[in-house]
Structure 1
Amino acid sequence: MLVAFSVAPSGDGELTRQGPADSVSQAVADAVRVVAESGLPYRTDAMFTTVEGSWDECMDVVRRASEAAGRYGSRVSLVLKADIRPGHTGELDGKVARVQRLLDGS
């Protein structure tokens, strides 16, 4: 499965003791670090991090990434979209490659 997610803290947090006007870059970096350390294939862009794995693997990573971001605020906003397609792997790159071939006229 593929899971695209975005986390953002708000409110006062244990690490910054600052309000929600702070940049969330450090919180996002800590969340993405959790994903990277999971060993699962992933890609991060300006809006989402997409991770590929089994249901349990992906949900565990999303939970831990949310917890990491949550250290910067009293609450966390989580946006999640999943493509649940049993029996398929390599879709993090495969989906993009299929579209690119069509764009290239192949």
Structure 2
Amino acid sequence: MHQHTVNLALQIVPQVASDKVYAVVDEAIAVIQSSGVKYRVCPFETVMEGPYDQLMDIVKRAQEVCFKAGAGQLLVYVKIQNNQHADVTIEDKTGKYDG
């Protein structure tokens, strides 16, 4: 796989008691925050920007911390925008909306 910058949207829905869902999701977001990649937390998913392999490693680690935080099962949704010849950035898509 090339090493252009891609965008990856990650949504993890943990199977835990309803009062623990946000705490488990916060653990996954902490993995993203500590990774050093550019990211944006949104209401339904977190979007990251970086090399494909690095982002996929973050996806793996985010799932692992959710299990360690008590999730018995996860629904994991990943969306990737990838361009063979150019970087894909968050700014290109949403920069005009930042006020």
TM-score band (shorter)? 0.7 to 0.9
TM-score calculated relative to the size of structure 2:
0.81
- Separation in 2, partners of 1:28, 1:21: 12
Instruction: Tell me what 1:8 maps to.
Output: 13
Distance in 2 (alpha carbons) for counterparts of 1:48 and 1:3: 10
The secondary structure found in structure 1 opposite 2:74 is strand
Number of matched pairs = 91
Q: Distance in 1 between the 2:19 and 2:95 partners?
A: 37
Task: Give the structure with higher Rg (CA).
Answer: 1
After superposition, the C-alpha distances for 1:21-74 in whole angstroms (9 at most, x for unaligned) are 433101111000000000000000110001111110010001111111122211
Deviation string, structure 1 residues 6-28 (Cα, Å, up to 9, x no partner):
11221xxxxxxxx5343310111
Tell me which protein shows more strand as a share of its residues: 2
- TM-score under structure 1 normalisation? 0.76
| Runs of 5+ unmatched residues, structure 2 | 1-5
* 1:8–1:70 Cα change, 3 Å: farther
* 1:28 pairs with one of 25, 34, 39: 25
Which 4+ runs in 1 deviate beyond 4 A?
none
Structure 1: gaps of 5 or more residues:
11-18, 101-106
C-alpha separation in 1, matches of 2:24 and 2:37? 20
